[in-house]
Structure formats: C-alpha cells, structure tokens
Amino acid sequence: MSFRTKLREHTLEEIRDLLTSLGEPSYRGDQIYQWLTRKVALSFMEMTDIPKSLRLKLEDHFDLSLPSVVDLQSDDEGTTKFAVRLEDGEIIESVLIPERDHYTLCVSTQVGCAFGCKFCLTGKSGFKRDLSVGEILAQVVIAKRFLKLKGESLPLRNIVFMGMGEPLANYKNLVKVLKILEDKRGFNFSRKRLTVSTVGLVRELRALAKEFPTALALSLHAPNDELRRQLMPIAKKYSLSELIEIIKTFPRVKKGRITIEYLLIKDVNDSLREAEELYRLLRGLPVKINLIPFNPHPDIPFERPSEEIIYNFQRYLLSKGMLTTLRKSKGVKISAGCGQLRRRLEGELLTPNPIYFEATLRAEAFS
C-alpha cells in the first residue's frame, strides 16, 4: 500500500500547502481543516461540501484514521476513560470528565513517563516514547465524537494536559497541538481553557512563556526542596527557588492565576507544619493552590489523609488569604483519577462499554 500523509498531524497552513501541491485550490484545505476539527469527521466521505471525485482523490493521498478505542469505562458520575491502541500496539489512556456546564478532557502526551514521581502510577509502567501531534489530537477528536454520537448538549470546553507523561518533555509536539487547538478557524479553544501541567522543567517553561503562554499548572507537592526531592526525582535538578522565579515571570492568560498542584499524602506532606511552609513559599504570588487528596492504588505505598486532615490543611491556607481549592476525586473507581493512568497491555483490557460500540458502528457507517 502506498504511503499516505497523516493529515491530522498538520496545521491549516500545512494542509493548504498539501492541497496546492496536488493542484487543488488552497480553500479546499480550509474546508478539510474545519471538517477535521470543528466537525470531527472520520473520513473524507463525510465532507459533503467537497465534490465526490475530489474526496476519492484525497483518500488516495491522505490518511484520516484514528487510533482504535479498545476499552471504555464510565463511572456513575459520567467520568469516562478511553484506552486507545496506537499503531505500534502501545495503549494510552485519556479521561473525559463531566462538569456542571461543560466537559473537561484530560489528555496524554507520552506513552508512559520517565520522571518517576513516587506517588504516580504512570511512571511505574516506564517510558516508551513521545506521542505525535496526531496522536495527541486524536484523543480530543475521539472525545468530541463520543459526545456528539451520544447527543450530549454540554460542550467539551477544557483540555488539560495532565494525563500520561510530562507534556513539556514532548515540547515541540505540545506547542504545535496547542496552536491547532486554539486556532479560531478550527477547534477554537480559548487559550485560558488549555492547561499544561508540568513537574517543573525550567528551560521548557521559559520557552513556553515566549512561544505559547497558556494556562499553567505546576506540580509542587512539597513546600521544601528536601521533601520534594524525596517525592519527585526532577527536584534534584531544579530547586523551588527556580520554580518561584518562573511563577513570578510566566505570562498570565487574561490575568489568571498559575495553579499550584499539591497532592496530599498521609503522614508525608499533610501536616499544618507543611501548610505553613507552603504559605510562606507562595504568599504574595499570583497563584491558586489546588489540593489533591491522594488516590490510593495497591502498587503505590502511600495512603490518603483523613477528611479532617485534608480540611484542616485547606482551612489554614484559606485563613492566610490563599486562594485554595480542593479537587474532587473523579473516576477513582475506574482508575481514572489523578496519578492513576498508565500504560496497559492488551490482556489487561476489561469488558468495553456496549454504548461505545453502538456509537462506533454508527460512526463506521460514514466510511
């Protein structure tokens, strides 16, 4: 079979150039781009404003295929986890989370993770490779298509890069994805609705600040360098003082606040002493502290603090005037909570949700 260009890897400008190289007018690229993004088309046959003869021609040159969803699980609250098989057989996970008036999608940027944070299941499965632009965007297309086929009226409004992997370690592809997602001619996500979570790669953060400043979530998880080094190996390379400088200088999208993610782990970092240290570290900075109670897993040797400890920690920070929220754990029953996503093997897949397969059959009718 002849090689076909994977069209989902490209920006609008690149798609225009590909069309003109085939002797077609550039506006055909605009039409295709909108079908791929806004209308989440799966095939050229869905693109009804393009002549059928051209659609057949395009099929010979371009590949619109998506990775296969090989498992789907939903909990009682509507949180849905997708297990997606890539071309090389690797399986990644993404999570669709219902909010009051919209959905948030947590996407992965790597197969596994190389950073080995002690509290995170993803790192225990090891690191395989970066995801391509198309593989990252495919997670968005799959989620939007899923909502569309279900007849869901609430929009997918937020994309958070908090799934498998360290987004900034896949910097080049991440930035291209962010630009495609923001493009008003396509997906049209607001920049403040695109959140990049990072363990704190200082060089890449400085580059992102210049190239594509967006909503930022910094995984801190400890109020001092010694404890942070015990939990996060990256802390041996970058100190908290360096991260504080990033917080001070990183451009804020529409004067928003940088989110400080702080995982509360029983008897590790959850005492009022650590709360006081955290306050002293962050006071006066344009931040919002998001407390995340640890989601237990048999493979991780930590426990969740009691509700009393969690609320005492939050109350202390609030009493000091720090904007502090408590993340509600969603998807824990289906291992879709924070830190629970991981590389999976085909034999580990559970019985898929039959609703998805009904939707898949309807989607295949277009092809």
Catalytic residues: 93, 338
Task: Check: CB of residue 257 under 8 Å from CB of residue 273.
Answer: no
3-state secondary structure of 100: coil
**Which tokens is 307 given?**
């509700």
Residue pair 202/264 in contact (Cβ under 8 Å)? The answer is no
Contacts of 27 (CB under 8 A, 6+ apart): none
What does the alpha-carbon distance between residue 341 and residue 233 come to, in Å, rounded to a whole number? 19
Count other C-beta atoms under 10 Å from residue 57's C-beta: 16
**β-bridge pairing 5-6 and 110-112:** unpaired
Q: Which residue is associated with the tokens 């041996």?
A: 236
State the DSSP code for 154: S
- Dig out the tokens for 43 from the structure: 């095939």
Amino acid at 208: L
